[in-house]
Structure 1
């Protein structure tokens, strides 16, 4: 490993090469055309750790497995992503990769891609009502259940909580349903208020949590549907001098890990394997183009990351296939 690092290769790239060798076990004999495949990726976003890891997964998988890749970034704008999908379809790629921010809104554009004979592979979220070839994603319901159950257990089964919701995407909204199912097992945990984030709204999660804490001085915890809200909520808790407040989030990545490792109010993040989602999409695009069967849905690993798991440092490559096991992490959902 030291020799590899001295040659300027990052651990992520080294592990990516290891993942490629693993993938080679499944892609037994690729056609000679594999190197000439032309792929396109219509990404809903490339910001935050999640977007960066998804983009890295697509890019490195195409390098490892063959082909070229054209990528667009919609910046969470569904109309822009729909237009980008139409433009990419016009170039007649061999396969299209999609990460939907607003899956319902882009569904017609994805359907047009399929109607044009372009196989589509989605990552992170399903596209409702559209039979894409493969979707690689986390168990959103399970992550919502796990975080709510964690809060309930931390509070000894009794307390007052608020929730910051993410209804923008049907898959992401499953986290709220998982939370609700978990709380049915803890009837003495009371949800005193909910706030639903809107991508086009004027209120930030930080402002929302500021207002929640002002209105609820006896609040015990804030359940957040994603880490961006959990991090901003932690800043609000600091400003309000609420050291005993408990926050949880969903996504994973270096920013949330830093807050957890630092012993802040953010106690748990459900770390999704975004890199692996994207890598699997490219792998199964190759399989499909080689005439082999591919799974309709793949549920990728999620790790429930707490402070103890970060005692030896903050890994940025935890979602490269196999790396979680190297770290001693166990799949939570």
Structure 2
């Protein structure tokens, strides 16, 4: 059972977040991403919040892993007085990643490190679980020996890592989780909060872009994640519900599930062969969307409309080039990291914290691709994307 769960979570998180092949990382150091420029630092004075430019005029639509109603990360705030109190504590934090070698993880780490630096909190370790539950359990044990006050983490496997996290909680460590919580741990008792993107909202964004590109009529296919996991499930539910309820002249005529993120091209090719009348395809994240893109090009379907979720390098390049991928809903991992750090600090100060927090969704198209990249990663887009956008 544990091996099955580990395989599932490995595929899931690798599929959602990996933009490049896994490489061996030293577990004591931060990873290198595809962006060589250093992410922008946070302001040195004033209250600490997530990026004020993130739109705040939309509701958070996602729910947490246990059905919790979401609180927007835009509401989180640490005053200068609170920051000064945190600095007096000389606290230590550790960042325990599931995998640390892609843009999403690097942006999370950048946001956490910048926020902790602003608070005078020392980051004593950044670990890379390499998608292995046993490695992550070992990382937690190693980190606990360094006596941290805070651990921010994303479980590789919420079942087989739970005991290690519970040990940390029982030792008085403030735990803040990314996207999911270990099984059996309780918010407010064992951990501070879970912070995620608004995955449901990003599914809505992908649907709205699809509808606009098709002028609200046509036939489409959906490639969904064939596993019962709330993050990807919410994305697909949001996309399909928005299409069905708001755009009755758009018909979903084909649905195919995916477990291997690298099988996107094969699945999309079969879908296009069986349904040559398709006007568009939605893929649940950017990696299988790259496969859909390849299948469409092979089939000579440059007229196909593709939308997805997650601002990966390859789909961003196609959007910038006015290609087949017309847009997506994007996560904001840097600001997710800032939000996690704020919640950890609030817990240290004894402030009550919400059990589930989400960062607002972001609509990304060719019109705002460069601005969106900078908002997502807090650094300028790679030169190849900037050139394509021009």
Question: Offset of 1:297 from its aligned partner?
Answer: 2.2
Per-residue Cα deviation, 1:211-230 (whole angstroms, up to 9, x for no partner): 43344322222211112222
Distance 1:89 1:11 in 2: 29
Alignment match, 1:123: 178
Contact 1:253 1:271 in 2 (8 A): no
What is the SS of the residue equivalent to 1:22?
Answer: coil
1:247 pairs with one of 288, 292, 306:
306
What is the SS of the residue equivalent to 2:201?
Answer: helix
Alignment match, 2:281: 222
Alignment match, 2:375: 318
1:189 lines up with 2:251 in the alignment: yes
Alignment match, 2:109: 55
Question: Offset of 1:111 from its aligned partner?
Answer: 3.2
Distance 2:226 2:109 in 1: 22
Alignment match, 1:180: 240
State the TM-score, normalizing by the size of structure 1. Answer: 0.79
Alignment match, 1:4: none
Alignment match, 1:278: 337
What is the SS of the residue equivalent to 1:58?
Answer: helix
Distance 2:102 2:178 in 1: 16
1:94 lines up with 2:154 in the alignment: no
What is the SS of the residue equivalent to 1:241?
Answer: coil
Question: Offset of 1:79 from its aligned partner?
Answer: 4.0
Distance 2:44 2:288 in 1: 32
Distance 1:151 1:126 in 2: 32
Per-residue Cα deviation, 1:122-172 (whole angstroms, up to 9, x for no partner): 124455553230222112122223323432453324313131326374323
Contact 1:197 1:205 in 2 (8 A): no
Question: Offset of 1:33 from its aligned partner?
Answer: 4.0
2:126 pairs with one of 71, 75, 79:
71
What is the SS of the residue equivalent to 1:248?
Answer: strand
1:80 lines up with 2:135 in the alignment: yes
Distance 2:158 2:207 in 1: 25
Distance 1:176 1:92 in 2: 41
Contact 1:259 1:266 in 2 (8 A): yes
Gaps in structure 2 of 5+ consecutive residues: 1-36, 49-77, 381-390
Q: Which deviates the most, 207-216 or 66-75?
A: 207-216
Distance 1:107 1:222 in 2: 37
Distance 1:30 1:107 in 2: 31
Per-residue Cα deviation, 1:307-326 (whole angstroms, up to 9, x for no partner): 1113xx466431378x9xxx
Alignment match, 1:12: 39
What is the SS of the residue equivalent to 1:91?
Answer: coil
Contact 1:254 1:315 in 2 (8 A): no
Alignment match, 1:331: none
Question: Offset of 1:245 from its aligned partner?
Answer: 1.2
Distance 1:249 1:54 in 2: 21
Query: RMSD across aligned C-alpha pairs, in angstroms?
Result: 3.0
